[in-house]
Amino acid sequence: MVWMSSSRFERESIDLSGFWYFKTDPEGRGEVEKWFEKEQLKDWDRLYVPCPWNEQDSAYAWYMGKAWYSRDFYVPKDWNEKAVSIFFEGVNYRAKVWVNKIFIGEHEGGFTPFCFRIEDKMKFGYDNRVFVMVDNTLTKKTIPPGEGMNRTYFDFFHYGGIYREVYLLSTSKLYVKDVTLRTDIDGGRGIVNASVNVVNETTETRSCQLILRVIDSNELVNENTEPLVLEPSSDRTVEKRIIVKNAKLWCPEDPHLYKFAVIITDGGSNIDVFETRFGIRTVRIENGRILLNGRPIFLKGFGRHEDFPILGKTLNGAILRKDFGLMKDLGCNSFRTSHYPYSKTHMDLADEYGFLVILEMPTVGLWQGVERLDDPEIVEKVKRMICEAIQRDKNRPSVIIYSLFNEPDSCREEFRILLKEAIEEARRNDPTRPVTFASCMHLEDKALDMVDVLCFNFYYGWYTLCGDLEAASRTLSRVLDELHEKYPDKPIIVTEFGADAIAGVHRDPPEMWSEEYQAELIKTYWNVILSKKYVVGGHVWNFADFRVGQSPGRTTLNRKGIFTRTRDPKLSAKIVRELFRKASTYL
Ligand code: BDP
C-alpha cells in the first residue's frame, strides 16, 4: 500500500469524481451474473461520486444491501513503467473492485482509505472500466455493528456508497512508501525524528540519493542528503533526527505548519517526491494534566458528525469551511471525530485551524447486541481499522489523543481483552499519543485503569433525571468526584453532555426539547466542569443536528446540535460562545 498523506500533490493523479453508473443488487445476483463484465450500462442509474446514495434519490433513501458502481477512466500513455494505484478514501461499508473485468481486491470498513495496484490490469487511453460492488449490510460483526437501517447499534444514519474521493495515482516504481514524523522540543529547537521507507520494485539495483527537506513557507530550513543503494524488490527505512532552530511551535493560537519533503533523485532528475505537512509540538500526560508543548491545556469543544442534507457524510470544502469558522468564532479549540475518522480534508483543516482533535475510531456500538467482544473476528477488524486510521493521520499535529471506542460495554470482563489488543495496536503504530475511550459506564466501568485519559459521556437531565437540572448538576458533581477519587492521576474529559432542542420550540420556564432547556443544561454542566480542577475538557454533544435511523425517541434527527442540520444557530450557540470564550486554552 502506498500511503498517500499529502503526497498526491507532487505525484500525478486523476480524480474520478463525477457521475458513475449505479444499480442496486438486493438479491446479490451481480457477482454470479458477472456484472463486472458488463458492456452495456444504459439501463443503470447515475449517481454522483463522492456522495452516499441515500439522499441523491428517494429510491435509495433506506437502502441497505449490495449496490454496484461503474465508470470508465483514462490512463495517460506516459504512465507506462509507473506504479499505478486506484485509491478510495472511504466506501461504506464493504467494497469489491474490478478493473477491466479483473478482480483487484476488497476492503471492509467504511471510514478508512484503501488502494489497489492496477498497472498490470489497465490499458493506456480511454478504454478502462472500473466496477465497485458496495455492500452496506450491517451485522453483529460489522464495525460498527447493527441489524438494519433502523436497528443500528449506534446513533447516526447508516449511509451507504462511495462517499469519499476516488482517484488514480502514479508514482515511479522506486518510491517513498511511508513517512513517519515525530517531533520533540529542546529549548528553542525543534527535533523532527523522521522515518522514511523507500521501496524499489524494479528488477534492477538502484543507486540514488534521498533528500529530506524541512520547508517553512517556501524557505528551506534544513536539508539532509543520504546515498541509497537498493537491491531489486527491496525496501529500506532511513531514520534521521533533524534539528529545526528557532522552531515555531504548533498550538491552537498559532498553528504553524512546516512542510516535509522527501525526494528520491539519481542526481539528474527527481524519481519521486513525497510531501506532507507537519507541526512541531509535544503532547504528554503528567500529574493529571494534558500538556501541549509542556503547558497544561483545557479542551473546549464538541462531539460532531459528518452529516448534511443530500451530501450525507460527504461534507464538501464549503461546508467544512463554514463549520470551522463557526467553531473558531465560538471560542472552541477542540473536537472529537465522533464516532469514526473524518475525511482527509476535514483533518487538513483541523491542522490549519489549530484544533486539538481526539481521533476516534469507527468502533462504536460494541454493546449488548454483540455476543462476545473478544470474538477473534471482531478483534481483528478493530485492530485493522485502528491501524488504517493511525497510518493515515499519524503525522497530523492536530491529533493529540486516540479514542479507541465510543461507549463500549465496558462492564464486561472480556472488554479488557479487546481493549488490550486495541491499545497494543495503537501503540505499535504510534507510541507517542495517549489513548482513551469514551465511557458511559462511569463508576461501573471495568477498564478505566488501562487508558491514559478518562473520557465520560453524561446525560443526567436528559435520559435520566429528566427535566431536573438541579439534580443533574448534583449527580454530575458527585460522580465526577468519585471517579477522580478512584483514578486520581488520570485527567478527565467530559466528552459528551447535551440535550435535544427542536429549533423554534421555546418554553419559560425551560422544558425538555426547548431551546431554553438545552442552553440551561449546557450552562449547568459547564459550571460543574469548570469547578473541578481535575477535569481538563468538556465537549458539548453535538455541534449540529444530525440524521439518525427511525425510532420513537428521535424526531427524524438527533436534535442535540447547538446548530440545526443546516447550521442555523439555536439559543445555545450564543450561550456556548459566551462560555467558551471565557474559558482559557491553558490551565
Ligand atoms: C451517546 C452516544 C451518541 C448519541 C448520544 C445521544 O455516544 O452517539 O448520539 O448518546 O443519545 O450515548 O444523543
Q: Pick the atom of ligand 1 nearest to 546's CA.
A: 9
Could you give the angle at which helices 415-429 and 376-393 cross, rounded to 10 degrees? 30
Pinpoint the alpha helices (H) of 246-375: 317-330, 344-353
CA of 303 to the centre of ligand 1 (A): 10
- Whose Cα sits closest to atom 4 in ligand 1? 155
- Name the region of 217 (left: φ>0; alpha: ψ -120 to 50; beta: rest): left
3 state DSSP class of 505:
coil
- 337, 338, 539, 541: residue to mutate for ligand 1 pocket, most atoms within 8 A of CB: 541
Task: Determine which residue's CA is closest to atom 3 belonging to ligand 1.
Answer: 155
d(CA 419, CA 464): 28
CATH 2.60.40.10 correct for 174-278 = yes
- Burial (CB < 10 A; 0-12, 13-18, 19+), residue 447, is buried
- For ligand 1, the distance from its centroid to the CA atom of residue 574, given in whole angstroms, is 23
- pLDDT for the residue 1: 39
Q: What's the longest Cα–Cα distance across the chain?
A: 78
Protein residue with least CA distance to atom 8, ligand 1: 155
Residues with active-site annotation = 407, 496
The residue among 147, 134, 148 whose CA lies nearest residue 53 is 134
User: Quick one: which atom of ligand 1 is closest to the CA of 500?
Assistant: 13
Q: Specify whether the CB–CB gap between 333 and 356 falls below 8 A.
A: yes
The edge-to-edge listing of strands for the beta sheet with 66-75 is: 45-49, 18-24, 66-75, 125-135, 94-99, 102-108
Separation in Å, CA 73 to CA 100, 115, 118, 131, 303: 10, 16, 12, 11, 38
Quote the distance between the C-alpha of residue 510 and its chain's center: 36
C-alpha cell at 246: 528557532
Q: What is the CA radius of gyration of the chain?
A: 24
Alpha carbon of 420 to ligand 1 centroid (Å): 24
Give the number of the atom of ligand 1 that is nearest the alpha carbon of residue 440: 12
- For residue 438, report the distance from its CA to the centre of ligand 1, in Å: 11
Residue 54 CA to ligand 1 center (angstroms) comes to 22
Q: What is the pLDDT of residue 268?
A: 80
- Residues 313-346 as b/e (b if ≥16 CB within 10 A, e otherwise) read bbbeeebbeebbebbeebbbbbbbbbbbbbbbbb
The predicted pLDDT at position 441 comes to 97
| Residue 83, C-alpha cell as written in the block | 506504479
Neighbour count for residue 187 (Cβ, 10 Å): 6
Residues 334 and 539 sit within 8 Å (Cβ to Cβ): yes
Distance (Å, rounded) from C-alpha 187 to C-alpha 202? 44
CA angle (304 as vertex; 301, 310 as ends), nearest 5: 145
Residue owning grid cell 463554514: 322
Q: For cell 507510541, name the residue.
A: 431
Pocket lining for ligand 1, CB < 6 angstroms: 155, 339, 406-407, 440, 457, 496, 541, 558, 560
Per-residue pLDDT of the chain (587 residues; tens, 9 = 90+): 344 444 434 489 999 999 999 999 999 999 999 999 999 999 999 999 999 999 999 999 999 999 999 999 999 999 999 999 999 999 999 999 999 999 999 999 999 999 999 999 999 999 999 999 999 999 999 999 999 999 999 999 999 999 999 999 999 999 999 999 999 999 999 999 999 999 999 999 999 999 999 999 989 999 999 999 999 999 999 999 999 999 999 999 999 999 999 999 997 889 999 999 999 999 999 999 999 999 999 999 999 999 999 999 999 999 999 999 999 999 999 999 999 999 999 999 999 999 999 999 999 999 989 999 999 999 999 999 999 999 999 999 999 999 999 999 999 999 999 999 999 999 999 999 999 999 999 999 999 999 999 999 999 999 999 999 999 999 999 999 999 999 999 999 999 999 999 999 999 999 999 999 999 999 999 999 999 999 999 999 999 999 999 999 999 999 999 999 999 999 999 999 999 999 999 99
CB 502 within 8 A of CB 464: no
Atom of ligand 1 nearest to the CA of 406: 7
Compute, in angstroms, the gap from residue 263 CA to the centroid of ligand 1.
46
End-to-end Cα spacing for the chain? 42
What residue segments make up the domains of the chain, in order of their start? 12-171, 174-278, 295-582
> CATH assignment of 12-171?
2.60.120.260
Query: The dihedral of CA 152, 155, 157, 162: what is its sign?
Result: negative
How do strand 94-99 and strand 102-108 relate by DSSP bridges? antiparallel
Amino acid 3: pLDDT: 41
Give the span between the Cα atoms of 212 and 260, in whole angstroms.
7
Angle between helices 317-330 and 571-582 (to 10 degrees): 60
Question: From the alpha carbon of 558, which atom of ligand 1 is closest?
Answer: 13
Per DSSP, which regions of 453-534 are E strands? 454-457, 492-496
Residue to mutate, 152, 153, 155, ligand 1, most ligand atoms under 8 Å from C-beta: 155
Structural domain 295-582, CATH architecture: Alpha-Beta Barrel (3.20)
The best mutation among 407, 456, 518, 543 to test binding of ligand 1, ranked by most ligand atoms within 8 Å of the C-beta, falls on 407
Query: Which of 340, 360, 457, 460 has most ligand 1 atoms within 8 Å of its beta carbon, as the pocket-test mutant?
Result: 457
Ligand 1, atom 5, lies closest to the CA of 155
User: Closest residue (by CA) to atom 11 of ligand 1?
Assistant: 155
Residue bearing cell 456508497: 161
**Contacting residues for 6 by C-beta, under 8 A, at least 6 apart:** 275, 276, 277, 348
CA of 440 to the centre of ligand 1 (A): 10
Instruction: Give the rounded distance of the alpha carbon of 99 from its chain centre.
Output: 28
Question: What distance in angstroms lies between residue 7's CA and the mean position of ligand 1's atoms?
Answer: 36
Residues 6+ apart with CB under 8 A from 186: none
CA-548 nearest atom, ligand 1: 9
Identity at 226, one-letter amino acid code: E
The pTM of this model reads 0.97
